[in-house]
Amino acid sequence: MRLLVVGSGGREHALCGALRRENPDADIYCAPGNPGTAELATNLSIAADDLDRLADAADMHGIDLTVVGPEVPLARGLADRLRAEGRAVFGPSAAAAQLEASKAFAKEVMAAAGIPTASSRTFHELGPALEYVARHPEPLVVKASGLAAGKGAVVCESRSDAATTVRAMLGGGTFGDAGRIVVIESFLRGEEISVLAITDGREVELLPVSQDHKRLLEGDAGPNTGGMGAYSPVSIAAPELLERASREVLLPALGEMRRRGTPFTGVLYAGLMVEDEGTPWVVEFNCRLGDPETQVVLPLVSGGLTRSLEAVARGEPPTPLELLPGAASVTTVLASRGYPDVPDRGAAIVLPDHVPEGVTIFHAGTARGADGVLRVNGGRVLNVTAVASGFAEAQRLSREAAEAIDYEGKLYRRDIGWREAARLAGASR
């Protein structure tokens, strides 16, 4: 079997790892990949959004299945291009990827499908947006409608903060084209979980539920980032809640996309805010596997991933996944100084000679120079994932392994999974 993974981050390293576990004799390629994927696959020096060269590579290497990691090539039509050439590809069409590429579009879909989500308004012009902010209850959320690498949502405690954010997006071009349209919505209270569903557009197969940590600093302080860590499973995600999420969120969204003539296939990612009474409110939809959710979830999948991805890519329903029984996983993200605004690059990375059993270090923003030295090459540098028989042990292993990695300007959170730890501590009293 010949497989191609598109992307260069920790998500793609985790994908290559999972595919290699299931297909030890396969020819796996990763474009462009990173030093971590190079240990599992053949890296191709092709940018993830270079559709022409990716299509040529799929032809040249006789690729049987392409798995697209990032959202940008999906929004630009990579899956459409490969399907038009008769190739099996896991990922939605450009039209379906608008569920992530346009928050305004996603809100329209949710409204039409009756999906629970925060009340909102969409604005193209600064004046009307500021007038709306001036009347809106506090706190409120301002979102760049387009793709902003997971950093386009700003929680504003006051109308003054929201006005400043709106001016920066619509007037100052903070997020470039992504912020030319803004969505202003009510603040949802509760606890957020990430639900990832492999889908052919009609049926869904859920991956283990995880919880991301978006804030930069411990205690959920500081600015939003692309994600500073995650854990799985999440104890509040009981079977009843997941059944409700499928019935009230995932299946209605898929139905509305079919009704619009843009059926969604691939991974539908629903970021859900869960209230005390258990209502799953949609914070966002994404059109691909999450990052860092992939790094924490895929190590819990013991089999069936390739089979399910391939089935969907060929227009068939997803097949069941096999999971490690009773296992828990925690991922700690190591970032670089200056992240998420202007991250430093170039610092030499020293990895430990040995990592404990159950720990995997996924490369995200790394590069190896001509001198062979591994160096920082992005905002999120490494993802340290630990799998253990219980949450507390996985949390400890991930944190201690993160501490053992050294580079100048290393930034990470030591409290990944703090809500789960508090729940378990309360339950043990």
Per residue of the chain (429 residues), give pLDDT as tens.
999 999 999 999 999 999 999 999 999 999 999 999 999 999 999 999 999 999 999 999 999 999 999 999 999 999 999 999 999 999 999 999 999 999 999 999 999 999 999 999 999 999 999 999 999 999 999 999 888 877 788 899 999 999 999 999 998 888 888 888 999 999 999 999 999 999 999 999 999 999 999 999 999 999 889 999 999 999 999 999 999 999 999 999 999 999 999 999 999 999 999 987 678 999 999 999 999 999 999 999 999 999 999 999 999 999 999 999 999 999 999 999 999 999 999 999 999 999 999 999 999 999 998 899 999 999 999 999 999 999 999 999 999 999 999 999 999 999 999 999 999 988 766
Answer yes or no: do 174 and 195 share one domain: no
CATH code of 205's domain: 3.30.470.20
In a domain, 100, yes or no: no
Question: Cα torsion for 378, 166, 162, 414, to the nearest 10°?
Answer: -10
Question: What does the block give as tokens for 159?
Answer: 């109308």
pTM, entire model? 0.94
In a domain, 303, yes or no: yes
Handedness of CA 171, 175, 176, 182 (dihedral sign): negative
CA distances from 231 to 70, 194, 211, 228, 387 (A): 21, 10, 6, 11, 10
Answer yes or no: do 334 and 301 share one domain: no
Answer yes or no: do 254 and 354 share one domain: no
Domain boundary among 180, 209, 244: 180
What's the chain look like in SS3? CEEEEEECCHHHHHHHHHHHHHCCCCEEEEEECCCCHHHCCEECCCCCCCHHHHHHHHHHCCCCEEEECCHHHHHCCHHHHHHHCCCCEECCCCCCCHHHHCHHHHHHHHHHHCCCECCEEEECCHHHHHHHHHHCCCCEEEEECCCCCCCCEEEECCHHHHHHHHHHHHHCCCCHHHHCCEEEEECCCCEEEEEEEEECCCCEEECCCEEECCEEECCCEEEECCCCEEEECCCCCCHHHHHHHHHHHHHHHHHHHHHCCCCCCEEEEEEEEECCCCCEEEEEEECCCCCCHHHHHHHHEEECHHHHHHHHHCCCCCCCCEECCCCEEEEEEEECCCCCCCCCCCCECECCCCCCCCEEEEECCEEECCCCCEEECCCEEEEEEEEECCHHHHHHHHHHHHHCCECCCCECCCCCCHHHHHHHHHHHC
Whole-number Å distance between alpha carbons of 133 and 140: 8
Quote the Cα angle for 329-334-339, to 5°.
135
Answer yes or no: do 200 and 319 share one domain: yes
Answer yes or no: do 288 and 360 share one domain: no
Answer yes or no: do 197 and 291 share one domain: yes
CATH code of 7's domain: 3.40.50.20
In a domain, 151, yes or no: yes
CATH code of 163's domain: 3.30.1490
In a domain, 12, yes or no: yes
In a domain, 131, yes or no: yes
Instruction: Quote the pLDDT of residue 374.
Output: 98
Whole-number Å distance between alpha carbons of 13 and 26: 16
Answer yes or no: do 233 and 296 share one domain: yes
Answer yes or no: do 6 and 57 share one domain: yes
Answer yes or no: do 195 and 313 share one domain: yes
Answer yes or no: do 364 and 283 share one domain: no
Instruction: Quote the pLDDT of residue 339.
Output: 97
Answer yes or no: do 345 and 407 share one domain: yes
The residue written with tokens 């202003």 in the block is 184
Instruction: Quote the pLDDT of residue 234.
Output: 97
Angle between helix 103-113 and helix 251-259 axes, rounded to 10 deg: 100
Number of domains into which the chain is organized? 4
Quote the Cα angle for 181-145-202, to 5°.
135
Rg of the chain (C-alpha set): 21
In a domain, 104, yes or no: no
399 is in which domain, residue-wise? 328-428
Domain boundary among 294, 323, 352: 323
Answer yes or no: do 319 and 391 share one domain: no
Phi-psi region of 290 (alpha: psi -120 to 50; beta: other; left: phi over 0): beta
Instruction: Quote the pLDDT of residue 147.
Output: 87
In a domain, 76, yes or no: yes
In a domain, 172, yes or no: yes
Domain boundary among 286, 305, 323: 323
Whole-number Å distance between alpha carbons of 265 and 357: 36
Nearest to 365 by CA among 343, 396, 350: 343
Instruction: Quote the pLDDT of residue 428.
Output: 67
